[in-house]
Amino acid sequence: MQLIKVGAAVLNQTPLDWDNNRAHILQAIEAAKAVNVTILCLPEMCITGYGCEDAYHAPGLIETAWTILQEILPATKGLIVSLGLPLIFNNGIFNTVCLIVGGGIAGFAAKRFLAGDGIHYEPRWFKPWPGGVHTMARIHDRDYPLGDLHFDVGGIKLGFEICEDAWVAGRPGGNLSLKGVDVILNPSASHFAFGKWETRKRFVLEGSRAFGVTYLYANLLGNESGRAIYDGGALIASAGKLMAVGERFSYADFQVNTAVVDIDVTRMNQARTSSFRPEVDGDEKDCVRVDFTYPRIKAVAPSVQTATWESSPQIKEEEFARAVSLSLYDYMRKSRSNGFVVSLSGGADSAAVVTLIHLMVAFGIQDLGRDAFWAKLAYLPPLTQADSPGTIVHALLATVYQATANSGEVTRNAARVVAEAIGADHLEFDVDALVNGYIGMVGNALGRPITWQTDDFALQNIQARGRAPGVWMLANIRNGLLLATSNRSEAAVGYATMDGDTCGGLSPIAGIDKAFLRQWLRWMESTGPDGLAPIPELTVINKQQPTAELRPKEYEQTDESDLMPYDLLDAIEKAAIRDKKMPLEVLELMESRFPQWNQAQLGLWIERFFKLWCRNQWKRERYAPSFHLDDANLDPKTWCRFPILSGGFERELAEMRAFIATP
């Protein structure tokens, strides 16, 4: 047996936060040393932070990354460690991984396949390294191997698939296995999306099996740079078997997961596979050889444990609760905000937002303990002995119900009940005088009364906008982060008042549809996340029909009467925007899925959707940053681009109307 203890670490990094990034790296290295790890894989671009964006084009960034690398080297003596950082070579910037052996730099493997779709824009900053090419790069008067390399370290061969490299059809691991590589390291910055975890596990497991290797996967963790969420989840597999699975959505700065693997087992698996055809031409110019002596390790039976919620039928509800709450925590502390302020309307959207803040505190304390949770908010006053989780929510969250003449006791009571249930600091404002002041001012200037018969939308919008100044003032007084409460379904059709319910510095639910939010709130009322109690008080939200509550009561306004049924809206949105179907194609799909409505009615709603979608791109451009959750995201800055001005699908809608009119 040739046993080696390997480790994969996840890190909560921040772009350009040099000292903290270095500290987390050093802490992970020390934690690995403490449990006798020999080979440690750290995430992609962990020195700089992955989401530096156009700052990658600053020569100073690349130079500082090199300086930080030198500061880390002394801590790696006795270890083999991979660290991600950018390098410039022949005036091109490359996404690389530095392999450190015993405190010295062995060389740099460069990423071959860049992530250039979805929320990723790597080709804007980096050049892809061509396969089969390697060279020597001169950095500060020394030459280092760079390129498509693998490493023979003390007789054990190591190679790399850097994040996207493993997601492509012709992944480099196949060639690495033919070169006799024993261990493949995958330093990643793989963002969270619903269901993506299972895909990652599959390519790690399949890579270890098909390539006959030990496979180490290390990911980022938390809200690194604002929009993308990283769920961590280190993975170690060997010869097609999972050896270690890391926790996801941890509130810690780092985690190290380890396993003891037998190199002889993977080598013999390759040897007895009849289809395995190793390279035998003797040309190993792409192999960097470094001396290293491995310590003797005792065999340890693998113990793979995963959280019980990972196999829950409500996995999407669990992932949503954990991903967004962790992102809120990181966004708050990295922006050095003193907490959050939410305009709590008594409806589903704002209730979902404050529930996520309640979960942020509950998950964080469950994971770290009360004192450690607060210690990461070191800019805030220290806790007292009496501060319970409930008082922590009270300190971090202020909610305010803002009434107008069209507000009802049902929503006022719902807002109060939910705020009390989660422990928020709840206030009430009466903004009717402000609204009437604006109505009177504009009416006097126009020389005519402002009425519901002539000015419906204006009267609705002024109520929503009239709520903005007071809640912004409250956020400023508390030095808190004002959260907008619009969801993705509303963003699709512009069913939101700019500078009203969209006002805020962060829009945490803008990436999720209304139908799922309502389903999630019902789940939170009855079940709740694994290990936490449900919130039965949410029944005051869940038994209501969603309403903007901006028209007089006799109008009996509801969101769905203004728009269409939310489940239909979300289905149209996915077909039209995610899947890029034209109106007639959408109609055909909706007819099969929603047989309870006739063709003419479906046609009216589909036409309404396309027209509202086109008219309201400018609103989506102005939304506060939101979190990426799936491939139906509508954020034009990271995912779904659409022109602000367009022809509005007029020709395509006319084709659909003609089809409906044909007997």
For residues 185 and 257, membership in a common domain is answered with yes
pLDDT single digits (tens) 9-30: 999 999 999 999 999 999 999 9
Average pLDDT over residues 565-574: 94
Final residue of a structural domain among 563, 586, 605? 563
Query: How far is Cα 41 from Cα 32, in angstroms, rounded to an integer?
Result: 10
Query: What CATH number did the domain enclosing 190 receive?
Result: 3.60.110.10
Q: What percentage of the chain exceeds 70 in pLDDT?
A: 99
pLDDT of residue 302: 74
Mean of per-residue pLDDT scores for the chain: 94
Average pLDDT over residues 568-575: 96
Place of tokens 């671009």: 45
For residues 515 and 630, membership in a common domain is answered with no
pLDDT of residue 387: 81
Residue 432 CB partners (closer than 8 Å, separation 6+):
403, 404, 405
pLDDT single digits (tens) 121-151: 999 999 999 999 999 999 999 999 999 999 9
User: Is 489's pLDDT higher than 70?
Assistant: yes
Q: 3-state SS of the chain: helix, strand, coil percent to 5?
A: 40, 20, 40
**Which of 67-71, 112-116, 283-287, 609-613 is predicted with the least confidence, judged by mean pLDDT?**
283-287
Compute CA distances 304 → 236, 307, 504, whole Å.
Answer: 10, 10, 42
User: Is 218's pLDDT higher than 80?
Assistant: yes
Domain region containing 322 = 311-563
For residues 373 and 442, membership in a common domain is answered with yes
For residues 521 and 614, membership in a common domain is answered with no
User: Is 547's pLDDT higher than 80?
Assistant: no
User: Is 553's pLDDT higher than 80?
Assistant: no
Query: How far is Cα 310 from Cα 319, in angstroms, rounded to an integer?
Result: 9
Final residue of a structural domain among 544, 563, 582? 563
User: Is 467's pLDDT higher than 90?
Assistant: yes
Average pLDDT over residues 437-442: 96
Strands of 39-41's sheet in order across: 134-139, 142-147, 104-110, 92-101, 80-89, 39-41, 3-11, 254-262
pLDDT of residue 165: 96
pLDDT of residue 548: 66
For residues 406 and 497, membership in a common domain is answered with yes
For residues 136 and 179, membership in a common domain is answered with yes
Final residue of a structural domain among 533, 563, 593? 563
Residue 441 carries which DSSP code?
Answer: H
pLDDT of residue 1: 77
Query: What CATH number did the domain enclosing 413 receive?
Result: 3.40.50.620
For residues 65 and 193, membership in a common domain is answered with yes
pTM of the model: 0.94
Residue bearing the bigger pLDDT, 348 or 304:
348
For residues 536 and 633, membership in a common domain is answered with no
For residues 273 and 359, membership in a common domain is answered with no
Query: How far is Cα 502 from Cα 479, in angstroms, rounded to an integer?
Result: 19
- Number of C-beta neighbours around residue 280 at 10 A: 8
Q: How many domains does the chain have?
A: 3
For residues 508 and 370, membership in a common domain is answered with yes
For residues 71 and 182, membership in a common domain is answered with yes
pLDDT single digits (tens) 335-388: 999 999 999 999 999 999 999 999 999 999 999 999 999 999 999 998 887 788
For residues 467 and 586, membership in a common domain is answered with no
pLDDT of residue 596: 96
